[in-house]
Structure 1
Amino acid sequence: MTVHLFLGPTLAAAEAAAVLDAVILPPAAHGDVYRAAQRGATVIGIVDGYFEVMPAVWHKEILWAMREGVHVLGSASMGALRAVELAPFGMEGVGAVFEAYQRAELADDDEVAVAHAPAAYGYRPLSVAMVNIRATLAAAEERGVIRPATRVAMLRIAKQLFYPDRSYPRLLSEASATGLDAGELSALKDFLPEGQIDQKRADALAMLRVIEARLSAGLAPKQVRYHFEATIFWDSLRQDAAPLAEPGEGSWMQSALLDEARLHPVAYPLARKGALTRLLSRALSDEHTPRPLDDETDAAILSFRRARGLLHAEAMEGWLRANGLGAEEFARLMESEAQVAAVQRWAAPHISSHVVDQLRLDDLYVRLWARAREKQRLLEEAGLADPDLAAAPLSREELLAWYAERRGEGAAPRDLSEAALQAGFRDEPMFVRALLREYHYVRLCEPRER
């Protein structure tokens, strides 16, 4: 019998392979269960799956697979959601997450959602699932690390966070900002390295053990009682699910692309400057900075995805396809991005004079120098030359939103450290101080502009 498993950030492929002999596939998307059944799968286990931007695995393809005699089980993440929805038809759910949804203790999809790295990095999770936070805080309460009221308050804080922002450091920081007991939070921080619970992983492993036990006992083809209706939508899925050829990457395509860029009045000059920066960064990194660590590359990935609205894995996969990149090529690109960031941090103390020279060459020096002198004069007269955010008429978040609106951007930067680095500031405090000076200067100038 052939087992096909759809895995991603919940469970590493190597861990799954150590438990069960199976074909390991990426997170399930629309048409993937149909393809697996067509390839001869007799058991399909769904753990992770795509959703929203990329069409999710369809209920009807699971129903068709079971009608064809395939056993379909789900747990932990998308698999648990589909198992709850299709349990009346014979799909089997395994694990605490499935059971919580089945008892209606959980309802929202975001309970199992996480941001994760691409395939080349093993779909490593970049955030913590809400169900894991629930299990961990329950364990902390049971051990006497935190009180029940603290657990409830922290669950409320975690639930209010956007799912890619959920992490234990962020949760502890937000909890501290709301005034929760510092002693309890310190005890929880000490508890987390060994005490945190990965409920999704535990559920996925439980499903693999169930499948192994079923196979060992002998498994007859799946029997169902429902009638499967082959609609025009089903015919459409069957056509869409046909295997697609990989896009060609012939050298003529790259040459044609470069011709288009070279003829563009803006694209090539900008791309050439950026490419030169990357080339020099690679050369300098060998001498001044070590190879990026996994954490630094993960940070580069998360920053890239946030800046482009690609936090959902489906949107990320769509971007990769549109830009002709595979997972491994993207991983190399992000490692290069982390390398550039490391060189930028190293170069920050040394680059200022060169920036000034470039401003002269770009005919910006005179205008910016005049504005800088006028700003300093007005701020000194108003006693605001070195402003304090604590005494400002707006919060840090409002200041960042004001900055984003003034630049014509849709939202304030989510990663302030990255925004500061990209803007050329040494650190976050330096960046915030400059923003506050700009805010006060604009306010002082407003009466003269009316």
Structure 2
Amino acid sequence: MTVHLFLGPTLAAADAAEVLDAVILPPVAHGDVYRAAQRGATVIGIVDGYFEGVPAVWHKEILWAMREGVHVFGSASMGALRAAELSPFGMEGVGAVFEAFQRAELEDDDEVAVAHAPAAYGYRALSAAMVNIRATLAAAAARGILRPATHAALLRIAKQLFYPDRSYPRLLSEASAQGLDPDELSALKRFLPGGQVDQKRADALAMLRAIRARLEAGLTPKQVRYHFEATIFWDSLRQAAAPLGEPLAEPGEGSWMQSALLDEARLHPVAYALARKGALTRLLSRALSDEQTPRPLDEEVDATILSFRRARGLLTAEAMEGWLRANGLSAEEFARLMESEAQVAAVQRWAAPHLSAHVVDQLRLDDLYVWCWARAREKQRLLEEAGLADPDLAAAPLSRGELLAWYIERRGEGAAPRDLAEAALQAGFRDEPMFLRALLREYHYVRLRER
């Protein structure tokens, strides 16, 4: 019997292959179950699937597949959702996430949704699933790390975050900003490295083991009792379904295209000068990386991908695929680009302690030195006169979040950073405390000048 599995960020294909011999496919989308059945699948296991942007897998195609004798299992993510909805018709759900949806303890799709990297990176999750956060916080509460009130507050904070923004560092940061007990948060932070519960992965593996056991026991074709109605909408799905796993059509690329692009850029000197400086940085970063700087870690590449997609509104698969097409990139080429971008950031961090004198020289060459120095002297004078030369956030009339919002509004360009740590990195400061001090000085200086 042939098993087709739809996997993505929940479970790596290599890990699935250790448990079950199966055809591994990308996250399921509209029409994919129909195509898998047409290709001869006798068992279909759904773990991951697309939720927005790309049309989700249709209930009707699952019902049709089961009517055709195919056993359909679901678990962990999209599979758990569809299994909870279709279990009365014979779809088989496995795992704690499925059971929670079936009992209506969970109802929202965002409970299992995550942002993830492209296929070239194995769909690595770039955010934490709400169901995993729930399981982890429950484990921490059971260990006595969290009091019931703190446990409930953390769940509320996590649930209020947009699903691509959910992560344990972000959760701890938001909880601290909202005044939760710092001792409990510190204990939770110590617990997390070894205590995180990946409920989705556990459920996916449980589904694979359940399928294997059923196969070993001897699985006959699926039998159902419902009547399948072939509507005009069903006919449209059948007609529109393309071959399963068909790659995106990528635009051609040749030397004439590169030449034409460069011609256009060179005719706009300011844009070309900025692009040329950036290209030089990338070239030097690659050269230095071979000799002096480490390769970026997987989590650094993941953070780069998520930041890139968030800044451009590419959080849905459809938006991402459209951007790739428009920019003439395959998923693999995009993955290499993000590796390069993470490497640039790594080199910039490595170079930061040695860069200051060269930046000052560049300010002289750009005719900005005189202006910067005059403003710095005036700022210091006004702040000293007001007793604010070394201001403290506790004495400021606004919170960290309000200070960041003020900075973003005044900056008025570029992708808005999510927090002070990201803003510090974007602005070129060594660390967050250094950036926070400079930002507080700027805030008070602007207010003094306005007076």
**Please, what TM-score do these two structures have when normalized by structure 1?**
0.89
Structure 1 segment 238-257 matched on structure 2, within 5 A = 238-239=239-240, 241-242=242-243, 243=246, 246-252=249-255, 253-257=257-261
Amino acid corresponding to residue 37 of structure 2 in structure 1: A
Give the match for residue 20 of structure 1: 20
SS in 2 for 1:4: strand
Give the match for residue 283 of structure 1: 287
Tell me if the contact between 1:64 and 1:228 (Cα under 8 Å) persists in the aligned partners: no
Deviation at 1:47, TM superposition (A): 0.4
Deviation at 1:76, TM superposition (A): 0.5
Query: How many residue pairs align between the two structures?
Result: 447
Deviation at 1:114, TM superposition (A): 1.9
Q: Judging changes above 3 Å, is the alpha-carbon distance between structure 1 residues 195 and 250 closer, same or farther for their aligned structure 2 residues?
A: closer
Distance in 2 between residues matched to 1:3 and 1:175, nearest whole Å: 44
Amino acid corresponding to residue 305 of structure 1 in structure 2: R
Tell me if the contact between 1:96 and 1:199 (Cα under 8 Å) persists in the aligned partners: yes
SS in 2 for 1:241: coil
Q: Judging changes above 3 Å, is the alpha-carbon distance between structure 1 residues 260 and 85 closer, same or farther for their aligned structure 2 residues?
A: farther
Deviation at 1:101, TM superposition (A): 0.7
Tell me if the contact between 1:285 and 1:339 (Cα under 8 Å) persists in the aligned partners: yes
2:310 to 281, 301, 306: 306
Give the match for residue 384 of structure 2: 380
Between 1:92-101 and 1:218-227, the stretch displaced more is: 218-227
Tell me if the contact between 1:119 and 1:327 (Cα under 8 Å) persists in the aligned partners: yes
5+ unaligned residues in a row in structure 2: which ranges?
none
Structure 1 segment 23-422 matched on structure 2, within 5 A = 23-224=23-224, 225-232=226-233, 234-235=235-236, 238-239=239-240, 241-242=242-243, 243=246, 246-252=249-255, 253-409=257-413, 412-422=416-426
CA RMSD in angstroms comes to: 2.7
Q: Deviations over 1:79-114 (max 9, x none)?
A: 111222233333222111111111110011121122
Amino acid corresponding to residue 394 of structure 1 in structure 2: L
Between 1:137-146 and 1:175-184, the stretch displaced more is: 175-184
Distance in 1 between residues matched to 2:295 and 2:335, nearest whole Å: 14
Deviation at 1:159, TM superposition (A): 1.9
Between 1:420-429 and 1:259-268, the stretch displaced more is: 259-268
Between 1:109-118 and 1:270-279, the stretch displaced more is: 109-118
Amino acid corresponding to residue 82 of structure 1 in structure 2: R
SS in 2 for 1:74: strand
Distance in 2 between residues matched to 1:258 and 1:4, nearest whole Å: 46
Q: Judging changes above 3 Å, is the alpha-carbon distance between structure 1 residues 237 and 254 closer, same or farther for their aligned structure 2 residues?
A: farther
Amino acid corresponding to residue 154 of structure 2 in structure 1: M
Identity of aligned residues (%): 84
SS in 1 for 2:291: helix
Deviation at 1:162, TM superposition (A): 2.8
Distance in 1 between residues matched to 2:359 and 2:188, nearest whole Å: 46
**Please, what TM-score do these two structures have when normalized by structure 2?**
0.89
Deviation at 1:216, TM superposition (A): 2.4
Distance in 1 between residues matched to 2:143 and 2:340, nearest whole Å: 44
Give the match for residue 433 of structure 1: 437
Amino acid corresponding to residue 378 of structure 1 in structure 2: L
Amino acid corresponding to residue 239 of structure 1 in structure 2: A
Tell me if the contact between 2:404 and 2:419 (Cα under 8 Å) persists in the aligned partners: no
Q: Judging changes above 3 Å, is the alpha-carbon distance between structure 1 residues 237 and 381 closer, same or farther for their aligned structure 2 residues?
A: farther
Q: Deviations over 1:246-276 (max 9, x none)?
A: 3254424444443443444554332222111
Q: Judging changes above 3 Å, is the alpha-carbon distance between structure 1 residues 173 and 262 closer, same or farther for their aligned structure 2 residues?
A: closer
Q: Judging changes above 3 Å, is the alpha-carbon distance between structure 1 residues 399 and 192 closer, same or farther for their aligned structure 2 residues?
A: closer
Q: Judging changes above 3 Å, is the alpha-carbon distance between structure 1 residues 298 and 30 closer, same or farther for their aligned structure 2 residues?
A: same
Q: Deviations over 1:365-384 (max 9, x none)?
A: 33333333333332232222
Amino acid corresponding to residue 78 of structure 1 in structure 2: M
5+ unaligned residues in a row in structure 1: which ranges?
none
SS in 2 for 1:227: coil
Distance in 2 between residues matched to 1:250 and 1:412, nearest whole Å: 32
Q: Judging changes above 3 Å, is the alpha-carbon distance between structure 1 residues 179 and 446 closer, same or farther for their aligned structure 2 residues?
A: closer
Amino acid corresponding to residue 353 of structure 1 in structure 2: A
SS in 1 for 2:405: helix
Tell me if the contact between 2:289 and 2:343 (Cα under 8 Å) persists in the aligned partners: yes
Tell me if the contact between 1:31 and 1:238 (Cα under 8 Å) persists in the aligned partners: no
Between 1:106-115 and 1:287-296, the stretch displaced more is: 287-296
Q: Deviations over 1:220-243 (max 9, x none)?
A: 333442223332574156325354
Q: Deviations over 1:101-148 (max 9, x none)?
A: 111100111211222222222222232221122222323333444443
